Amino acid sequence: MRKQLEEIQKSALETIRSANLAADLESLRVKYLGKKGALTAVLKQMGKLSAEERPVIGQLANAVREELTEAIARQSKLLEQAAMEAKLAAEVVDVTIPGTPVTVGHRHPMSLVLEEAEDIFIGMGFQIVEGPEVELADYNFTRLNTPEGHPARDWQDTFYLTEDGSVLLRTQTSPVQVHVMEQQKPPIRIVSPGRVYRKDEVDATHSPMFHQIEGLVVDKGITMADLKGTLEVFVQRLYGAGTKIRFRPHHFPFTEPSCEVDVQCFECQGAGCRVCKGEGWIELLGAGMVHPKVLEGCGIDTDLYSGFAFGIGVERMTMRRFSISDLRLIFENDMRFLSQF
């Protein structure tokens, strides 16, 4: 029996140590130590032994049981560790592998300048309002003192949407003036940015779609000095304190007197070059005192109130701000150009 026990011990230890799965270990435990196991089978024969042999074999059997129990526990622990190590190795993150670059977009230069401009006007107490791009000829022209027969109303200049010419793509943001004066009572102080459309051929300074910012101030005692002061502060805040602008007399049907405002050429600083067509100045906006006919048409008492208005070309403003010499670059969406801003 001693021999039997020693054989069980030897073969059991060997198989336990080579077990690779937790499930195998469990069946080994049953095979050797279970109720119907090998060890129990041996112990069942104890009755055949002599009184002297019995305690000796009993001790040996217990020692074998303990040894096998321990061996199973040890092997089970080893298997657990190995499984954990394998898991860690499989899940390892190599922080030295170069990442996949994520291309993050950014604002278009036009949007950047538009936001700057809006901030400056908000800082001066203006409200931002929006107007429709599809407009009635009545608002775009007639109510802006631009009657039938005016050259701006020619089908060669304007995109009409109806045969009778009553609906069009607005040619300027000025109709917003009328919308605002219909809805608000003075004091009015608004700017309105947006797209406008004209039948222009594309070149370095023209596009059939471009952007304007309309400005309108109506209150008691507003004069041309308020217009000049407002625009001077705006231009200096946008382009820097030293920026030179000039006011030229001009004509718009809906302002009287009217002017155009030029900013010194960014390319040649006034010397004259290709960008400013040799003039040294670049036209930036049209402006003037709101024509009494326009005010009265919106029910505003011209004995009490006066106002000024202006319309800034946003593309020109952007070109001046970033020294861009061709308008087409703004709309081509070439990443080599856009990524510079």
In the range 233-252, which residues lie near ligand PHE by CB under 6 A? 252
Indicate the residue type of 98: P
Question: Is residue 311 near ligand PHE by the rule CB under 6 A?
Answer: yes
Question: Is residue 287 near ligand PHE by the rule CB under 6 A?
Answer: yes
Question: Is residue 255 near ligand PHE by the rule CB under 6 A?
Answer: yes
Nearest distance in Å: CB 285, ligand PHE? 7
Nearest distance in Å: CB 253, ligand PHE? 9
In the range 168-187, which residues lie near ligand PHE by CB under 6 A? 172, 174
Site size for ligand PHE (CB under 6 A): 11
DSSP label of 160? B
Reference 171, options 286, 39, 21, 82; nearest CA is 286
| Residue placing its CB nearer to ligand PHE in the complex, 214 or 330 | 214
| Residue placing its CB nearer to ligand PHE in the complex, 160 or 341 | 160
Residue 317 and residue 323 in contact, taking contact as beta carbons nearer than 8 Å: no
Nearest distance in Å: CB 145, ligand PHE? 11
| Residue placing its CB nearer to ligand PHE in the complex, 37 or 186 | 186
| Residue placing its CB nearer to ligand PHE in the complex, 19 or 284 | 284
Question: Is residue 286 near ligand PHE by the rule CB under 6 A?
Answer: yes
Reference 212, options 197, 193, 227, 232; nearest CA is 193
Nearest distance in Å: CB 236, ligand PHE? 20
Nearest distance in Å: CB 93, ligand PHE? 59
Question: Is residue 190 near ligand PHE by the rule CB under 6 A?
Answer: no
Sign, CA dihedral 130-136-140-142, equals negative
Reference 180, options 314, 303, 295, 312; nearest CA is 295
Question: Is residue 282 near ligand PHE by the rule CB under 6 A?
Answer: no
User: Looking at the chain, which runs of residues are DSSP E strands?
Assistant: 127-128, 134-136, 167-169, 188-197, 209-219, 245-252, 255-264, 281-290, 306-313
| Residue placing its CB nearer to ligand PHE in the complex, 31 or 250 | 250
Reference 304, options 189, 217, 143, 186; nearest CA is 186
Residue with structure tokens 């059939």? 208
Q: What's the Cα-to-Cα distance from 131 to each of 169, 208, 213, 214, rounded to whole Å?
A: 12, 19, 11, 10
Residue 288 and residue 255 in contact, taking contact as beta carbons nearer than 8 Å: yes
Nearest distance in Å: CB 205, ligand PHE? 14
Nearest distance in Å: CB 314, ligand PHE? 12
- Dihedrals phi, psi of 258, to nearest 5 degrees: -120, 160
| Residue placing its CB nearer to ligand PHE in the complex, 53 or 157 | 157
Applying CB under 6 A, the residues found at the interface with ligand PHE are 172, 174, 252, 255, 258, 286-288, 309-311
